[in-house]
Amino acid sequence: MELSLAPVGRIIKSAGAERISSDAKKYLANMLEEYAKKVSAEAVKLCEYANRETVSAEDIKLAAKRL
């Protein structure tokens, strides 16, 4: 797991939760990582299609919209 659990816990708390189990934080962290990997892979494809080596914020935005 790449994401730290503390920020994930803060995200859940910002949605209104008072208490959060460690399993809930781990599960959400894994879900977020999987989504980030999918968006990143799509962004890399867009970057390669445009004959660029650097993934831009625009690549990420477009990739997220496409998924």
Tell me the per-residue pLDDT of 4-61, one tens digit each, with 9 for 90 and over: 999 999 999 999 999 999 999 999 999 999 999 999 999 999 999 999 999 999 999 9
What's phi and psi for 20, nearest 5 deg? -140, 130
| Secondary-structure class of domain 5-66 per CATH | mainly alpha
pLDDT of residue 63: 98
Check residue 17 and give its pLDDT: 97
Indicate if the pLDDT at residue 62 is higher than 90: yes
